[in-house]
Amino acid sequence: MAATLRKPSLLWLLLAAAACYVGVLYREIVRQSVNDETRPADAIVVFGAAQYDGRPSPVYRARLDHAAQLYHRGLAHIVIATGGAGEDPKFTEGVVGREYLKTLGVPDSQLIAETQSPDTAESARRVATIMRANGLHSCLAVSDGYHIFRVKRMLHREGIEVYGSPRPNSKPQSFWKRQESMFHEIGSYTLWALHLT
């Protein structure tokens, strides 16, 4: 009888612990998403998003536009655009981002394209390698607001001093889209924290 009582108690404890974990992470992701830490740094790192036949998607373009504004404000002298080929082998997000930034007045000599990463975790590892090779130690991470929490922790693990600069208007408009984005981030962060990605 005692063993029967202990099993449900343990199950409830595990469920309560999981709910607390999700709740705390949810709060931290939301808090980071609205916290603009923009300040001078060694580099601006733009995390890639989809590109279509050599053109940045609206989401990626908005990130790149924000990065270019930061560059023209003199907050960093190097801009790193990240992202591999994804589903289009002809173009990489990194190269598409670099070429688009040129049209916004960022000189080619100040641009670096990271073109090999298939996901955010690999982007962070490769960006850290690029930064170390170029004597860069701090960066402004540009992405969508809900993505910044995870990006910062990934770069921090690689030894980079990182500040979040979310692109404007990146919060999903509908309640359900916001929840989808949040739980995607919670799941992705958890897998990364457990060294499963």
Name the band, by pLDDT with cuts 50, 70 and 90, for residue 197.
confident
Q: Is the pTM of this model over 0.75?
A: yes
111, 98 Cβ separation under 8 angstroms: yes
Integer Cα distance of 104 and 168 in angstroms: 17
87, 122 Cβ separation under 8 angstroms: no
The domains located in the chain, with CATH, are 36-168+177-193 (3.40.50.620)
Q: Which stretches of the chain are DSSP H helices?
A: 2-33, 58-72, 93-103, 120-133, 145-157, 175-193
Identity at 193, one-letter amino acid code: A
User: Residues 5-31: what's their mean pLDDT?
Assistant: 86
Name the band, by pLDDT with cuts 50, 70 and 90, for residue 6.
low
In the prediction, which pLDDT does 196 show? 86
